[in-house]
Structure 1
Amino acid sequence: MASSDTQLTTGVNEVYDERFEEIHNSVENTIELFDNGRGCRSVKRGTFGCVLGHHSYSSGIHRIRLRSDYGITFFGIHSRSKPLIPDDMVYGNYESNPSIYGWGANGYGISNGMFAQRTFTNKSAGVICFVLMLNCDEHKLNIINENTNERGELNVDTNHTPFPWCLFVQISRMGGCVSLVHPPSLTFKLFLPSAMPMAPSTIKTLEHPIIDSETTDPQLTSALELWRQEAYRMIDHYCEKKREEFIELRHEQQTAVKPTTMQSIFSPLTIDNDKIYFRSNRSASKNILPFQKIGTEALLEQNHGCIAANEQHFLIIQADILFLYKHSWPPIRGLPWTYGEIYDMFWCSALDQFILISEQHLLVFDAKTAQLSPLPLPDNPETINFYGGTCIGNVLYLFTWGWGSSIRVYEIRPMLELKRVYQSPFPCTTDELIMHCTSNYQVLAMVIKNCQDEIYLNLYSPTNMERFWSLKLDLVPGHRNIRCCSVNDNDWMVISPDSSSLIHISAEGELVNKITYDPVPWYGISLKNNDILILSDNTMTTYRLY
């Protein structure tokens, strides 16, 4: 039987604790593991790489759920007792080993290391979820494509693939990413303080199956203590760095022809409530379309198709007037808007101001003083045509318009500073452009258009622009911009004015629902308490999702 912690469900062992641990590649560092071995992804392109699972299977029936996040991937089994030999004639491919049985994510089957048959058509786009069934008792391997419900079966010759079996996953030379899918759980995400300039790029995540308990999870207690210790180490490192900077500056002043006095300015360290937060991982997203509960509705004629919000206010342009509204709708401020077409606007909590992007202008609006002023960037990119952006904590992301859109990343506090510039092929290639970019607490979502007029919703890591998943949308680009916003913290809503539609996308990159929305929607933003606001030609409507 399987040497793993499993749960018996109607005679089938649901394997909850499988993980990847053994990497094989003909070129070093082709593949890396992440999320404590629950995922594997390509690091280099040009050669194949594969990973083996931790557990061994010799009897019983075992059910493993996997997810192909992107790229060309393969799932199956391999005999633990057989060596894995790369085929150098096909870029180090491992599928030709006689002990390999399984399927590629595009539907082809491999039996005894040779092509068997195309099991499913794989018409699904973006993230694909599979169920792999290891029937050791009957020497069979089964697969279910959960996106299309297509199924396949292979008879395993134990002369070529003797027991024990192990999980086998291969990523092609074109790159890809595979994750193990675990049961519904409570997830704890621990963000290190982004106020620190050297804050690490990783996010600590803990996941556990939900159990009945009135006591604090010991793993959470341990993680909180480790998080606290790491935060203090970051503070110590930051202070030491500043001490060295001070010594160097003081030495320069002492040797200067005209020494001047120095000042030390200390900004308070703030840690917002979202550095550690809890959310429930749901196996399926709740369909929120069509909206059932209307919160409030207001007439906003001659608006420019953009809106931003914080916890107290809405900001919108109507008939060349920049209006600040309270959530209770009466306008409290109005300023002339003379900066041309507005491209995007969003709230920046680190600045405590709204950021507005228009033709050749990058502006900030202070809701407390009702003042509109330029936002000077430290690298002075006056010739760059920014088209939109978003903020995550202390980091500002601004993207450009045009094919091969680039993204400039700025740290806001203690001073605005350019940290990185991303260009083709990340986050998009030279035949792609960014139509819109937004975020939630932890990831970036972008609406991408390519030269074939295909539209995708892509999810990216904010620290390295790694693409988590990509979903092709059944939309045709028109004259108006397609936008997106987060809903329910983890899901996404795509707003398409030209097709007059709203599209609900799950956190895993799967289509939940698509509806026609009347009047034509222009923009959407997520509000507190999981409310959502939809801006149309002449109205602004808020909806209560629950």
Structure 2
Amino acid sequence: DVNQFEENGILVDVYPLIINQNLVYIEESTSNELDISTLSSPYRSIDCSNNEWTPLASNNQYLLLDQYPNLCLFNKELTLLKQTPWEYDRISDMCWSSTINSFIIITSKNEVVLIDENLTSIKCIRTIQQKRRLSCTCSDASLFLATNDYGSDIFQFNLLSSFHFIKQWKSPQTCNNNELLHSIAYNNGILALIISRKYNTQKLIELRSSSTLKKLWSVPIDTNHSIGQRLYRVCSLKYDEWLVIAHNPSRLLHVTKDGKVKTKRSYEPPADNAVLFGSNILAIRTANCLNYYRV
């Protein structure tokens, strides 16, 4: 009875659990590894119009594509969710700002345009002085605009106070008088710049402090001679790394946060732009196609 159990207790035989180590496999974590050399075939692709300028932008849910004469919004399955006519001039570049919950678009006619993520509201920002601009990017607090001329300037505007002007960086702090900023991208307090030199085939990717523009490191990108000059693009990847879209020959360069080229791989047909969509999708645009890859 219960009293007997309380007096004498319960005798339990316990045997050790023996694990055969040959039957146990623990997969090594690769959570901090990204290698574009292992990109397989895209898991989604669509045809898109042949466009000399191929801007892309994304947030965690949507990807915005310039598909002249429309702006098109896609999800992560590359399903077209919505499109709206684009009535402004040709788009030079665009980026996403989570601070104001809008895409920011710059045009070849010096306009800066805001469009919400549902493509329902489009408005031109009149308070920003018109300049010939080629590239744009956002931090949490600022919009950075790079001008489309040799000795490029970088303008900084406050996203938290209706695009109030903060600062203008000029040559030689941005680049030399005979150099052009092709592309700028922001991530985690850092600005990545793609720089080309007039009458020189070599390009550079440089990392700068976004607060001081102090150079942290620089990596040369060797190219072959070509007639005309195609835009080289840069986008941020996971783990504070960077992807460079290079030409002549067409290839992708994966650059680590400390300035080492981790991977070079050819890409055909030639890539024109790329963006990290969410945390695990790399969207790459060519002249006629948009491809999604798992990363």
User: Structure 2-normalised TM-score?
Assistant: 0.81
Write the distance in 1 (CA, Å) between the matches of 2:255 and 2:230.
21
Structure 2 residue identity aligned to 1:428: C
Which one has the largest radius of gyration? 1
Superposed, 1:432-511 pairs within 5 Å as 432-451=179-198, 452-476=200-224, 478-511=228-261
In the alignment, structure 1 segments of 5+ residues that lack a partner are 1-279
Partner of 1:489, secondary structure, is helix
Superposed displacement of residue 535, structure 1: 0.8
Superposed displacement of residue 293, structure 1: 6.3
Match of 1:533 among 251, 263, 283: 283
**Residues 67-106 of structure 1, C-alpha deviation per residue, up to 9 Å, x if partnerless?**
xxxxxxxxxxxxxxxxxxxxxxxxxxxxxxxxxxxxxxxx
- Paired-residue identity, %: 24
Partner of 1:302, secondary structure, is coil
**Residues 21-50 of structure 1, C-alpha deviation per residue, up to 9 Å, x if partnerless?**
xxxxxxxxxxxxxxxxxxxxxxxxxxxxxx
Partner of 1:327: 76
Partner of 2:27: none
Structure 2 residue identity aligned to 1:298: I
Conserved 8 A contact 1:479-1:498: no
Write the distance in 2 (CA, Å) between the matches of 1:386 and 1:351.
21
Conserved 8 A contact 1:298-1:539: yes
Compared with structure 1, are the counterparts of its residues 281 and 433 closer, same or farther at alpha carbon in structure 2 (3 Å cutoff)? farther
Partner of 1:381: 129
Superposed displacement of residue 335, structure 1: 2.2
Superposed displacement of residue 407, structure 1: 0.6
In the alignment, structure 2 segments of 5+ residues that lack a partner are 1-29
Superposed displacement of residue 369, structure 1: 5.1
Compared with structure 1, are the counterparts of its residues 281 and 465 closer, same or farther at alpha carbon in structure 2 (3 Å cutoff)? farther
Is structure 2 residue 168 aligned with structure 1 residue 418? no
Superposed displacement of residue 308, structure 1: 1.0
Write the distance in 1 (CA, Å) between the matches of 2:221 and 2:229.
17
Compared with structure 1, are the counterparts of its residues 497 and 537 closer, same or farther at alpha carbon in structure 2 (3 Å cutoff)? farther
Conserved 8 A contact 2:61-2:278: no
The alignment covers a number of residue pairs equal to 261
Conserved 8 A contact 1:487-1:530: no
**Residues 163-214 of structure 1, C-alpha deviation per residue, up to 9 Å, x if partnerless?**
xxxxxxxxxxxxxxxxxxxxxxxxxxxxxxxxxxxxxxxxxxxxxxxxxxxx
Conserved 8 A contact 2:84-2:119: no
Conserved 8 A contact 1:400-1:407: yes
Superposed displacement of residue 286, structure 1: 5.0
Partner of 1:521: 271
Compared with structure 1, are the counterparts of its residues 319 and 419 closer, same or farther at alpha carbon in structure 2 (3 Å cutoff)? closer
Conserved 8 A contact 1:489-1:530: no
Compared with structure 1, are the counterparts of its residues 340 and 497 closer, same or farther at alpha carbon in structure 2 (3 Å cutoff)? farther
Write the distance in 1 (CA, Å) between the matches of 2:197 and 2:261.
20
Write the distance in 2 (CA, Å) between the matches of 1:436 and 1:481.
8
Conserved 8 A contact 1:409-1:420: yes
Structure 1 residue identity aligned to 2:209: S
Write the distance in 1 (CA, Å) between the matches of 2:34 and 2:285.
23
Superposed, 1:106-185 pairs within 5 Å as none
Structure 1 residue identity aligned to 2:94: M
Partner of 1:13: none
Write the distance in 2 (CA, Å) between the matches of 1:462 and 1:484.
16
Partner of 1:424, secondary structure, is coil
Let me know the Cα RMSD of the aligned residues. 2.2
Q: Any runs of at least 4 consecutive aligned residues in structure 1 with deviations exceeding 4 A, and if so which?
A: none
Partner of 1:289, secondary structure, is helix
Superposed displacement of residue 310, structure 1: 1.1
Partner of 1:439, secondary structure, is strand
